[in-house]
Amino acid sequence: MKAIVLRGHGGPEVLEAAELPLPEPGPGQVRVRIAAVALNHMDLWVRKGGPAFKLHFPHLLGCDIAGTVDAVGAGATATVGAKVVVQPGLSCGRCEPCLSGHDNLCRFYKILGEHANGGYCEAICVPEVNLAPYPERLSFPEAAASLLTNLTAWQMIVHKARVAPGDTVLVHGAGSGIGVAAIQIAKLHGARVIATASTEEKLRRATELGADVVINYTTTDWVAECRAQTGKRGVDAVIEHVGGEVFAGSLRAVRAGGRIVTCGATAGFHPQIDLRHIFFRQVEVLGSTMGSKADLLAVLGHVAAGRIEPVVHTVLPLARAADAHRILEDRAAFGKVVLEP
């Protein structure tokens, strides 16, 4: 099968075309013929490398997969030819977190494309339990764009930030995959949404998704504007995936007793913060990674019903994976960049 692989870390140029053997499903597995795979910032982090990434090369990126069941292993009952999407989190299925419905806390948890081979190829074998219902109203690129970021934002907003009707929620990076998902999920739960972005076009698109207030962080003091928009009280919750000084600013933008939920640090891992903003004002700082398999089913129910809309920036052939990475790195996308094998 055709694939795009990593044989070492570096810039987009390290993404290489390759021919790999077509994988065969083992017991309890299915082979999915991939029709679309959506990119995430995780693809960039893994490609660039770091101490957390101890990969076996050649490595395949890509965690958001939509396609059709192509073959089944012993004990699997999926129907060959069925359209499916793939839950990107792999877990043992036997430990206490897995059995209590918190599989993303499994000590053996892996994400496709990160510490396990992903979908930059024509076919992949995954455990049958990782198959999820296909939202029939969507194209394959749209279905692939519905997975990781919606799943991540769902856990952040519903379980961590505990967003309720009437809350004011600050969403950073409105044009990112997390931002697009968070705006819609926060609105679904009755929140007033303040969204930030770097261009007027991204702010316009964020308004179309439901953001009530939009702030261009390149021209406006967004912390001061958040406080002005809330009568100096501060926002109830912050959905944060930027890190660096944005995280530090979020501590000043949130109200006393509010919640900051973080799932990433694209702008830096070492913010300079004043701890008094946390303990004296009793701010909750909550980490979040992915969501459970049950959460994905909840998300896909809303996607299938049209209450959450995937946003696809562009679709490129798999052979142009390096160009897709450059689009993300240049922050040129509003929504998801998708590859088609």
Tell me whether residue 293 is in a domain: no
Domain count for the chain: 2
- 113 and 193 housed in the same domain: no
CB 260 within 8 A of CB 235: no
Q: Is residue 181 part of a domain?
A: yes
CATH of the domain at 317: 3.90.180.10
How far apart are alpha carbons 276 and 260 in whole angstroms?
Answer: 15
Do residues 130 and 190 both lie within one domain?
no
Whether 141 and 20 share a structural domain: yes
**What pLDDT sits at residue 116?**
96
Give pLDDT tens digits for 237-274.
999 998 889 999 999 999 999 999 999 887 788 888 88
> Domain range spanning residue 204?
150-287
> Which has the closest alpha carbon to 72: 2, 146, 123, 136?
123
Helix axes 222-229, 244-253, angle to 10 degrees: 20
d(CA 31, CA 26): 9
pTM: 0.94
- Sign of the Cα torsion 325, 264, 112, 148 reads negative
Residue 298 has what pLDDT?
Answer: 96
Closest to 63 in 3D by CA, of 85, 84, 45, 37: 37
| CATH number of domain containing 252 | 3.40.50.720
Mean pLDDT by 10 residues, the chain (341 residues): 97 97 97 98 93 89 98 97 98 96 96 96 98 97 97 97 97 94 97 96 96 96 97 97 91 97 86 90 96 96 97 97 96 94 93
All residues at 6 or more sequence positions from 87 whose CB lies less than 8 Å from its CB, including other chains: 129, 130, 131, 132, 147, 293, 296
Q: Convert the pLDDT of each residue in 203-229 to its tens digit.
A: 999 999 999 999 999 999 999 999 999
Establish if 300 belongs to a structural domain: no
**Which amino acid, one-letter code, is at 30?**
V
> Is 332 within the bounds of a domain?
yes
Instruction: Based on the fold, state whether residues 72 and 42 are members of the same structural domain.
Output: yes
Q: What is the pLDDT of residue 294?
A: 95
Neighbouring-strand partners of residue 168: 192
Find how far residue 218's CA is from the centre of its chain. Answer: 24
pLDDT tens digits along 247-257:
999 999 999 99
